[in-house]
């Protein structure tokens, strides 16, 4: 049985979605998984995402999982199906603007900084509440849809720490859902990568982002 099938079987049992993270890997490797049925792929760089979108079958859904600069939103706005790492109001507003230009609604996740190690990107608890207060009181964001949260746990062997960080994301997810009366489409917790996806699933993940386990080390 292929690694892919093994992972897919495990995820099916818990209703978890797999985003195959194909960054740095050639189109041939994407097509190998495509032929096994995978239609959901993720990249962390805008240029690479655009290149692969152009080269691959059009029934693939593309996610951007990495940090996104506001000035690059326009390149992915015509086709991206989910942006995982919204980490400022400015970026959220630019996605809304570009989505409107393309006459479509773009789904986004807010990146919550759950890692205790020093990381550059992601919103703090206070940032998220501030952003959500603003978002929920405004009527101008008609071209984006906040469908959940994304988080990355610390890079550590300490399972307890990873578990605690993922559970923080779930707590925040529930807090937002209840405080802002979010619609049904708010249903995604994007957490878990090759090294920690099993823990993430145990902590309530609905979407895992797996790269090296599927495609080999980078
Ligand atoms: C690269 C990457 C992944 C996948 O990492 P692996 O350890 O290779 O599974 C997941 N999420 C983000 C944001 C990434 O940049």
Residues 26-69 pLDDT 10s: 999 999 999 999 999 999 999 999 999 999 999 999 999 999 99
What pLDDT is attached to residue 117?
A: 78
- Mutation pick for ligand 1 pocket among 17, 209, 214 (CB with most ligand atoms within 8 Å): 209
What pLDDT is attached to residue 2?
A: 86
Residues 122-160 pLDDT 10s: 999 999 999 999 999 999 999 999 999 999 999 999 999
The neighbour count for residue 12, using CB atoms within 10 Å, is 10
- Kindly give the distance from the C-alpha atom of residue 21 to the centroid of ligand 1, in angstroms, as a whole number: 6
Mean of per-residue pLDDT scores for the chain? 97
Residues 198 and 182: beta-carbon distance below 8 Å = no
Residues 89 and 83: beta-carbon distance below 8 Å = no
- Kindly give the distance from the C-alpha atom of residue 9 to the centroid of ligand 1, in angstroms, as a whole number: 20
pTM for the model: 0.97
Q: pLDDT band at 116, cuts 50/70/90?
A: confident
What pLDDT is attached to residue 60?
A: 98
Strands 144-150 and 40-43: unpaired
């Amino acid at each position: 049985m292929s690694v892919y099938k093994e992972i897919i079987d495990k995820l099916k049992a818990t209703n978890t979605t797999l985003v195959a993270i194909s960054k740095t890997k050639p189109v041939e490797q994407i097509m190998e998984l495509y032929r096994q049925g995978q239609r959901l792929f993720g990249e962390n760089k805008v240029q690479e995402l655009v290149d692969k979108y152009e080269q691959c079958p059009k029934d693939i859904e593309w996610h951007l999982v990495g940090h996104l600069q506001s000035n690059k939103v326009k390149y992915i706005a015509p086709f991206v199906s989910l942006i995982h790492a919204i980490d400022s109001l400015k970026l959220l507003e630019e996605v809304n603007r570009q989505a409107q230009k393309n006459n479509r609604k773009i789904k986004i996740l807010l990146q919550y900084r759950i890692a205790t190690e020093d990381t550059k990107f992601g919103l703090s608890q206070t940032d998220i509440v501030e952003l959500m207060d603003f978002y929920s009181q405004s009527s101008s964001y008609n071209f984006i849809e906040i469908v959940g949260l994304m988080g990355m746990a610390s890079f550590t062997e300490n399972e307890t720490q990873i578990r605690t960080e993922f559970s923080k994301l779930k707590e925040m997810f529930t807090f937002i859902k209840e405080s802002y009366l979010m619609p049904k489409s708010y249903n995604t917790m994007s957490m878990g990568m090759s090294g920690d996806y099993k823990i993430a699933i145990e902590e309530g993940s609905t979407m895992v982002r797996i790269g090296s386990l599927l495609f080999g080390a980078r």
